[in-house]
Amino acid sequence: MRFMVIVKASKDSEAGVMPSEAQLTEMGAYNDALVKAGVMLDGEGLHASAKGVRVRFDGRGRSVTDGPFSETKELIAGFWMWQVRSKEEAIEWLKRAPFTDGEEVELRQVFEMEDFGAAMTPELREQEERQRAELGQLKARG
């Protein structure tokens, strides 16, 4: 099972406050443990919403709104992608995260091809597998 672990934004992250060396060291050690256990597939921190945009789709119309966005509790500061055996395992890993200042982290299961049932035709499955292979090649090139 794959899970996305979503780290919610805070006033500090939205203000561009960077983590200290000690915080980066602690998070690095945690990420090392995730990698060594074969849990972590990917993970990144995100710039503040002031550097982002939102695109609204209305029929064929598109409108773009520049950040920053006001509802900090609705924003994401970073994420991990994990591969685990169960939701309970993901929760146990998440409980070990080096957060101490009231951070809020959301855990969401990622859809797998099997979840789509008959709608995932053999042709669509082949397309999905080809895309994943191409993405793997792009990541390997760095």
pLDDT at residue 136, as a whole number:
87
Of 12, 15, 104, the C-alpha closest to 68 is 15
Question: How do beta strands 53-58 and 61-66 pair?
Answer: antiparallel
Question: Residue 100 contacts by C-beta under 8 Å, 6 or more apart in sequence?
Answer: none
pLDDT at residue 102, as a whole number:
85
Whether residue 66 contacts residue 72, with contact meaning beta carbons closer than 8 Å, is answered with no
Question: How do beta strands 105-109 and 2-8 pair?
Answer: antiparallel
Of 111, 132, 140, 131, the C-alpha closest to 4 is 111
pLDDT at residue 138 above 80? yes
pLDDT in tens, 24-72: 999 999 999 999 999 999 999 999 999 999 999 999 999 999 999 988 7
| CA atoms of 73 and 95, how far apart (whole Å) | 20
* Helices within the chain (DSSP H only): 11-14, 21-36, 87-95, 122-141
What predicted TM-score, i.e. pTM, was given to this entire model?
0.88
pLDDT in tens, 78-118: 999 999 999 999 999 999 999 998 889 999 999 999 999 99
